[in-house]
Structure 1
């Protein structure tokens, strides 16, 4: 029933009102204000914690105590890490009655550089140059000023951190690792080469084993790397598959160091590239496809015959390609000869796992314009490896590693002299 005393309500159409406000600027101001509030609050909380520590050492201010073991010593300017930045604070001091200045636990905790070190390494991993590091940090509220953010300070911090990482890589014990597979490859930095060894354990986990710097991938440099691995605990008597790119110096050093326990798998992809480099462009696709089709077979003897026939067909017009194909042919079939198939075979027939790691190193070091010396190169590589190792995934086909280990042991046992087998 309609009311006779009240007017009827009318529905008013919705109206849209557009207000032009500097929303982005407002939000940015809010963000800076909130960050400034956090910094100021953090400093106040830290000041209260430090004063509580001083009271615990010296007793309450203005209260005489003949048994006190420390006295107040005024304050001094110091620096702590807040919000991932190093900023200045006023630090209260306490002096022991019978000793020198005493440490305040809360200040020791706040002055720790771990957050700053983490922020620095994360920025460099993201591609930030030393010169631009300060511009990536949040702006501090006035009158605060960030400390240790200049190019030189950032560089010194990175040098110290990367030196520590390098020492860890070069001194880590390998004695507890069971490594049936090791890959070795070199990455070039101008006129220098860093040799890198990547081990794969029985569960398919990847481990960076060691680094060695040299001017070339010479046998001497490789032997030095391998000797270092043995000194740090790598079992030299274990049957092991070595996956390499086909470099003669690599092969020679491995065979000389490990003897009959080392089985060499030469990268099939490197072999394919080496062969087609000797051919005119119109034959690249067909010869490359013929080699891939042969390697896809599980029968190593059949593959060997197919590739030998291919070399014979190339001999007349392209003898260089034929010679390249025949050179080390059997070592491109080692994994197949061991009876390994499926995903594990496709993974181990090339050096792709370690080359992917080399690609990560190249990306990490992309901003370096001048390599001053070998130590600098090693430091950067060690830092890149520390960044990459947290992203390591198990080797593709790792569930078949037990079959590879059994095949390695059987192959090595078959090559031993009869008197050793009897023993």
Structure 2
């Protein structure tokens, strides 16, 4: 390991301190340190100090070549020592990339968090005093691709997920010089560890049965075992795909979506008592209690023509919305709706609004995958939802 004995020219440094602003001082100091580091590395490689003779000499010094290094303090010009054979290579740049990569990671994080590429380039210019192109920022974010791909293809067989949540959201993508709408399919789950996990996602065309079946099948190929329950909205293609891929799995219709559907069938005014009686149905902690409240609601309002459509909607979808009540009461509030997944969609949407239109499909996969990876990691750090 190279040991550096700093023989810095302090007169030169003093002159810089007196004549330059703080940015120039930082750059000058960094140049002096890096130059000294590289000279010492060269000496260690040659196995002989400057101007000395030795039988153990490996090579000969052969001047310098210039190289610029873009750092968080700006662009730094360096004189890199070389040897006659050309076999000596300094590790200074490699060490810099490791130590200062937090700056580059910060740029990537800005993009992932919804800051536009244009704004990121402006930030770099403000911090470094150097202009960088949009392609420079894009090339940084492209480094996420293999990371996202590895995470997206990871095995799901190590833990069992009794409860799986699925939903889709729409984004706009530029494709073949056209702007098209694409569906983002997302699956999350609560594992046996009682923590939330992001299981997977894909970006596909219009939401339909075939697309849902392909997505769910992909999850099973990665090791996802048939869950006890899948929670989702009432999309017909999704329901059919769940039945086909997860034989014997219960389907829980999201109670939040369903209650909204029922209430939308009610008149806008004078319905507060009706709404309170309806919501009481879902305060139950068992299916028997929920059915009892439902029957009481129908008996009370079945002769009211204004409530007729709401009652019909309730009767048609009711049983699918109370499947969560067969589970222990401590778990029920976590599995009766897709609210947790809706919040995750909201996080994606918040960042997606800045971009508005993804330049291509891969950029959408990159950004959404990064957000989901972060959410999955955060979920593992939280306490269990229940015991």
- Smaller-chain TM-score range? 0.7 to 0.9
| Matched pairs, number | 356
TM-superposed CA distance for 1:197, in Å, is: 0.7
CA contact (8 A) 1:81 1:111 kept: no
Closer, same or farther in 2 for the Cα pair 1:230/1:106, shift >3 Å?
same
- In structure 2, distance between residues paired with 1:95 and 1:247: 69
Closer, same or farther in 2 for the Cα pair 1:165/1:321, shift >3 Å?
farther
String of CA shifts for 1:142-191, please: whole Å, max 9, x gaps. xx8536x3323212322x13423431332222221232221111122142
Closer, same or farther in 2 for the Cα pair 1:299/1:171, shift >3 Å?
closer
String of CA shifts for 1:361-389, please: whole Å, max 9, x gaps. 11122211323443332222112223444
The aligned counterpart of 1:333 is 322
SS in 1 for 2:386: helix
1:265 aligned to 2:248? no
Closer, same or farther in 2 for the Cα pair 1:225/1:286, shift >3 Å?
farther
Moved more, 199-208 or 308-317: 308-317
Closer, same or farther in 2 for the Cα pair 1:34/1:397, shift >3 Å?
same
- In structure 2, distance between residues paired with 1:166 and 1:269: 32
The aligned counterpart of 2:183 is 193
The aligned counterpart of 1:163 is 145
CA contact (8 A) 2:75 2:130 kept: yes
The aligned counterpart of 1:361 is 348
2:135 alignment partner, one of 130, 144, 152: 152
Q: CA RMSD in A?
A: 3.0
- In structure 2, distance between residues paired with 1:392 and 1:53: 45
The aligned counterpart of 2:109 is 122
Greater gyration radius = 1
**Structure 1 regions of 5+ residues with no counterpart?**
1-31, 401-423
The aligned counterpart of 2:10 is none
String of CA shifts for 1:74-133, please: whole Å, max 9, x gaps. 333334453x36634314243474xx5433122221134732331112323454321122
The aligned counterpart of 1:77 is 66
Compute the TM-score of the two structures, normalised by the length of structure 1.
0.74
For residues 32-51 of structure 1, what are the structure 2 equivalents within 5 Å? 33-51=21-39
- In structure 2, distance between residues paired with 1:120 and 1:290: 52
Question: Which structure is richer in relative contact order (CA contacts within 8 A, separation 6 or more)?
Answer: 2
The aligned counterpart of 1:178 is 160
- In structure 2, distance between residues paired with 1:228 and 1:78: 48
The aligned counterpart of 2:211 is 221
The aligned counterpart of 1:351 is 338
- In structure 2, distance between residues paired with 1:131 and 1:65: 56
The aligned counterpart of 2:11 is none
SS in 1 for 2:262: helix
The aligned counterpart of 1:9 is none
CA contact (8 A) 2:231 2:254 kept: yes
CA contact (8 A) 1:181 1:242 kept: yes
Compute the TM-score of the two structures, normalised by the length of structure 2.
0.80
- In structure 2, distance between residues paired with 1:95 and 1:359: 57
TM-superposed CA distance for 1:195, in Å, is: 0.7
1:295 aligned to 2:295? no
Closer, same or farther in 2 for the Cα pair 1:166/1:125, shift >3 Å?
closer
CA contact (8 A) 1:177 1:201 kept: yes
TM-superposed CA distance for 1:349, in Å, is: 1.2
